[in-house]
């Protein structure tokens, strides 16, 4: 007998939905021959460029160590270049190279195809879901930040 739904099930639904979206988009990318590795991350850079790694971390919620790893891989692949940040000179901006922009452009039809497959099955307009998901993403980011603050405060207390 199925159990009664709980509010906390929202997290399972979000997690599973993210995995399913990845499968849907990855299948479309494979169908048109575009590499799926870090495609979504390239999309964020394309959308925000020129963008600093810290701004990318704030927008995506990815930890700085993951951002550094992804950037290293994309620079090595020739998809992204680092340009000095004119504001402070210590940090850098990320910009897609022509090769990286080609990956983003070539992959966009896969995103559109995946969206069309999804949209046919929505019961409400996509814009309503988008608004709710952006709210949820911000809430998850704030929850992660508060978790990190608690962890830092807790470990500082243990050292004293």
116 and 57 in a common domain: yes
Number of domains the chain is built from: 2
- Residue 135, burial from CB neighbour count under 10 angstroms (0-12, 13-18, 19+): exposed
Mean pLDDT per segment of 10 residues, for the chain of length 160 residues?
83 92 93 89 94 90 90 95 86 94 94 95 94 90 83 72
Indicate whether 8 belongs to any domain. Answer: no
Indicate whether 10 belongs to any domain. Answer: no
Q: Mind giving me the DSSP string for 90-107?
A: SSEEEEE-HHHHHHHHHH
93 and 30 in a common domain: yes
- Give the pLDDT confidence score for residue 36 in this predicted structure: 87
User: 20, 70, 76, 84: which is closest to 42 by C-alpha?
Assistant: 70
Question: By residue range, what is the domain housing residue 25?
Answer: 16-121
Indicate whether 61 belongs to any domain. Answer: yes
- Give the pLDDT confidence score for residue 160 in this predicted structure: 62
pTM of the model: 0.77
81 and 147 in a common domain: no
- Give the pLDDT confidence score for residue 80 in this predicted structure: 96
């Amino acid at each position: 007998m199925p159990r009664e739904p709980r509010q906390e099930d929202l997290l399972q639904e979000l997690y599973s939905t993210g995995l399913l979206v990845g499968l849907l988009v990855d299948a479309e990318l494979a169908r048109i021959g575009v590499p799926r590795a870090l495609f979504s991350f390239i999309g964020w850079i394309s959308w925000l460029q020129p963008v600093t790694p810290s701004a990318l971390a704030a927008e995506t919620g990815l930890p700085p160590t993951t951002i550094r790893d992804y950037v290293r891989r994309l620079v090595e692949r020739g998809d992204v270049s680092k340009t000095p940040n004119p504001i402070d000179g210590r940090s850098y901006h990320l910009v897609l190279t022509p090769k990286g922009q080609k990956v983003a452009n070539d992959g966009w039809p896969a995103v559109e195809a995946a969206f069309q497959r999804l949209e046919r099955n929505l019961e409400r307009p996509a814009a309503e879901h988008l608004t709710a998901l952006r709210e949820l993403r911000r809430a998850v980011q704030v929850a992660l930040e508060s978790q990190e603050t608690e962890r830092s405060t807790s470990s500082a207390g243990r050292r004293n």
